[in-house]
Amino acid sequence: MNRLGNRFWPVVSLGLLAVPVCAVGIAYGCTALATVSTGSPSAVAGSSVTVAGKFFAPHDPADIRTSPALIHMDTLDSPALATASPNSAGTFSVAITVPSTTAAGDHVLIVTQNGIDGAPAFGTPARTVLTIDPAPLPAPVITVPAPAALAPVTVPAALSVPIVTAKKKLTTAQKIARCKAKFKPSSAKTKRGHKRLAARRSACIRSVS
């Protein structure tokens, strides 16, 4: 009996300790991570893009214990592009302006938020990728001087040589224009098709830039 009792109480103690640990694990398992997305997968520097988030901590401007969500680009210590106040459901939607100095290519939007205890809210920072497309170049203005009056020159038929016109090489701007004309996200009938065309357009532009 003593031997059985010596084994019984340690087992019961371990079971009691496991209850709060399991409860904490279930609580965190049922809490969704903060996520963020953009209204468009790509944009041009200087343009406006809608950023939406969900599963953030609610923010009440009247309650100093709560904090807004801050949207940064590429690094956590970069200046915030916008401030958002998640509602009671933890969602928000806010427009940001892409800095005009942003280089073309893929960039990361980082959304941070602090909880009531001052530490980062659960599941933050949230991240998503935004592709910055090259800005379209203005059409070149070509000035053709007026031809000078020249006396007609007669060339003997035996000396006439067929003129071979060299194929004009496309400029980078023209190649980019071709990529945009070939892959138009606006022509897609579904959201999935829109994202696929946008991704192909970005890949085409990067290949010719």
| Span 17-74, pLDDT tens digits | 444 433 434 444 456 899 999 999 999 999 999 999 999 999 999 999 999 999 999 9
* Tokens 């970069």, located at residue: 78
Check whether 201 has a pLDDT greater than 80.
Answer: yes
Polymer length in residues for the chain:
209
Q: What is the dihedral of CA 45, 204, 108, 78, to 10 degrees?
A: -40
**What number does CATH give the domain 35-135?**
2.60.40.1930
- What pLDDT is recorded for position 167? 66
| Span 4-30, pLDDT tens digits | 445 544 444 444 444 443 343 444 445
- What pLDDT is recorded for position 160? 55
- What pLDDT is recorded for position 29? 46
Domain residue spans of the chain: 35-135, 167-209
| Span 70-121, pLDDT tens digits | 999 999 999 999 999 999 999 999 999 999 999 999 999 999 999 888 899 9
Check whether 162 has a pLDDT greater than 90.
Answer: no
Range in 148-152, 155-159, 204-208 with the lowest mean pLDDT: 155-159
